[in-house]
């Protein structure tokens, strides 16, 4: 099922405190709303529409500028207006839409899969938790006036999933001037069937100032770390220098390959692709394709980085080892680290380049070519 997501991020979030609306506040170094955008893209959303207020244009430009698959639109004065604006921006050909609150940052692919499965027999689906606490009624004086029966009661969460034609028709039929409590209520009034799927305490909504310290603790549990490894080798041939880790190193020979034969970048590209289970460099850039003849290998690395970011991933660190007798790597190591840090958008202290020889053993020892190994760690949504 082809699906998109609409993230409602136009609220002021005043109850959460602070000078910045809660959806733009930092959570483990990343804006709250970005957690959901990255997670929904990683779960397979073809498009993520983020609905913002006009006052937050600068925030949105800083957070989403250049982020693939993300579309920003302006919302309205009420949430219902923002949802309608988001639905109107969903691309043609989409079968289902997930509508999500920006203040719930810990959505995962598991939640999305359950919601899409729920749509197989219903027009809508939402994650929900059974009410376990005793419910009391009280007036303004806070004196208990009764106890509510909690049997059959559920706490609705987001994202809520809908078959696109059903939710669009339901919103079109919603009476003017009325405010729905959630998107499922809109579908319910139109006669649509809504399926409950397993909720998750991690799908908490950031509402009050005290929620943020808890979210900082939970943030570590909402991400996983993957490790990728890459290996590459090229033979020497005619030339007066070779590309290594994005730096042209003077040498009395060059490296032979379909592209610029930068073994360091090739190994690192494979490491990132491996961490994301996205195959290898040959799957994405076949050596039989003439368009890659002589291509700069930084294009390959940036492609792998874009794939990773589209799934909500980010590189934590990278370590490249060059295996050769010649050329000498040490004089160029600082430049190599700086270039890799630039390509990966990482601080320099998270990038390592090392060199070793094979003590004149094997093809590198005989100076027939050189090899590279790379290891990287990538953090992604759970």
pLDDT digits (tens, 9 = 90+) for 117-150: 999 999 999 999 999 999 999 999 999 999 999 9
As a whole number of Å, the CA-based R_g of the chain is 26
Name the residue among 205, 182, 184, 183 with its Cα closest to residue 196: 184
pLDDT digits (tens, 9 = 90+) for 190-219: 999 999 999 999 899 998 888 888 888 888
Question: Distance between CA 54 and CA 10 in Å, rounded?
Answer: 8
Which H or E run includes 218? helix 211-219
As beta bridge partners, residue 254 has 237
- Range list of β-strands (E), 184-303: 194-198, 223-237, 241-244, 247-250, 254-255
Quick one: CA torsion of 272, 278, 281, 282, rounded to 10 degrees? 170
Q: What was the pLDDT predicted at 53? A: 94
Cis peptide before 327 (omega within 30 of 0): yes
Q: What was the pLDDT predicted at 272? A: 97
pLDDT digits (tens, 9 = 90+) for 48-72: 999 999 999 999 999 988 788 899 9
Q: What was the pLDDT predicted at 310? A: 78
| Contact of 129 with 111, CB cutoff 8 Å | no
* Phi, psi (deg, nearest 5) at residue 67: -75, 120
Q: What was the pLDDT predicted at 13? A: 62
Q: Where are the alpha helices (DSSP H) in 5-47?
A: 32-42
Domains and CATH numbers, the chain: 3-132+145-209 (3.90.550.10), 224-381 (3.30.1330.50)
As beta bridge partners, residue 321 has 354, 373
According to DSSP, residue 91 is labeled P
Q: What was the pLDDT predicted at 17? A: 57
Mean pLDDT for 153-165 is 97
pLDDT digits (tens, 9 = 90+) for 231-240: 999 999 999 9
Residue 112: which pLDDT band, with cuts at 50, 70 and 90? very high
Mean pLDDT for 237-249 is 96
pLDDT digits (tens, 9 = 90+) for 336-376: 999 999 999 899 999 999 999 999 999 999 999 999 999 99
Can you read off the two tokens belonging to residue 141? 């004086």
Q: What was the pLDDT predicted at 381? A: 75
Mean pLDDT for 289-295 is 88
Q: Look over the chain and give the mean of its residue pLDDT values, rounded to a whole number.
A: 93
Supply the pTM of this predicted model.
0.66
Q: What was the pLDDT predicted at 18? A: 64
Mean pLDDT for 262-270 is 97
Which H or E run includes 306? helix 298-310
| Contacting residues for 230 by C-beta, under 8 A, at least 6 apart | 266, 267, 268, 269, 270, 271, 272, 273, 274, 372, 373, 374, 375
Mean pLDDT for 71-87 is 95
* Phi, psi (deg, nearest 5) at residue 30: -135, 145
- The region of weakest confidence among 117-126, 145-154, 268-277, 310-319 is 310-319
Q: What was the pLDDT predicted at 312? A: 75
């Amino acid at each position: 099922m082809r699906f998109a997501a609409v993230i409602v991020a136009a609220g002021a979030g005043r109850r959460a405190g602070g000078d910045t609306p809660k959806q733009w506040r930092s959570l483990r170094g990343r804006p709250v709303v970005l957690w959901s955008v990255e997670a929904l893209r990683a779960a397979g959303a073809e498009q993520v529409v983020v609905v913002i207020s006009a006052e937050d244009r600068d925030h949105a430009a800083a957070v989403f500028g250049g982020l693939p698959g993300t579309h920003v639109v302006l919302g309205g004065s009420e949430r219902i207006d923002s949802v309608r604006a988001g639905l109107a921006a969903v691309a043609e050909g989409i079968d289902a839409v997930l509508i999500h609150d920006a203040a719930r940052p810990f959505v995962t692919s598991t939640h999305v899969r359950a919601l899409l499965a729920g749509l197989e027999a219903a027009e809508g689906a939402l994650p929900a938790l059974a009410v376990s606490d005793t419910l009391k009624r009280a007036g303004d004086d806070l004196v208990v006036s009764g106890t509510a029966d909690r049997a059959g009661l559920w706490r609705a969460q987001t994202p809520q999933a809908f078959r696109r034609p059903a939710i669009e028709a339901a919103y079109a039929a919603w009476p003017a001037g009325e405010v729905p409590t959630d998107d499922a209520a809109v579908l319910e009034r139109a006669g649509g069937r809504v399926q409950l799927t397993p909720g998750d305490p991690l799908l908490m909504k950031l509402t009050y100032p005290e929620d943020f310290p808890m979210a900082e603790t939970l943030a570590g549990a909402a991400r996983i770390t993957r490790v990728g490894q890459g290996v590459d080798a090229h033979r020497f041939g005619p030339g007066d220098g070779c590309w290594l880790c994005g730096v042209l190193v003077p040498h009395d020979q060059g490296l032979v390959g379909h592209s610029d034969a930068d073994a360091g970048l090739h190994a690192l590209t494979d490491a990132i692709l491996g961490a994301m289970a996205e195959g290898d460099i040959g799957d994405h850039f076949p050596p039989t394709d003439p368009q890659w003849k002589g291509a700069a290998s930084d294009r390959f690395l940036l492609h792998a980085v874009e794939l990773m970011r589209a799934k909500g991933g980010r590189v934590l660190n990278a370590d490249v080892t060059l295996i050769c007798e010649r050329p000498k790597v040490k004089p160029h190591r600082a430049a190599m680290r700086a270039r890799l840090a630039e390509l990966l958008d990482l601080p320099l202290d998270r990038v390592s380049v090392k060199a070793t020889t094979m003590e004149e053993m094997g093809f590198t020892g005989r100076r027939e070519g050189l090899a590279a190994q790379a290891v990287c760690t990538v953090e992604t949504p759970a």
